[in-house]
Amino acid sequence: MHTRYSAGKLANGALPLLLQMLTAAICSRATFALLDDPEGPNLVVVTGPTVIIYLASLVAYFSGRFPTLTGSRRAVATIPIQMLAAAALYLALR
Tell me the pLDDT band of 9, cut-offs 50, 70 and 90: low
18-59 pLDDT per residue, tens: 989 999 999 999 998 888 877 777 888 889 999 999 999 998
pLDDT of residue 21: 93
From the list 85, 93, 71, the residue with the least C-alpha distance to 27 is: 85
Chain Cα centroid distance, residue 39: 25
pLDDT of residue 35: 85
Answer for the pair 81, 56: CB distance below 8 angstroms, yes or no.
yes
pTM of the full predicted structure? Answer: 0.78
d(CA 17, CA 6): 18
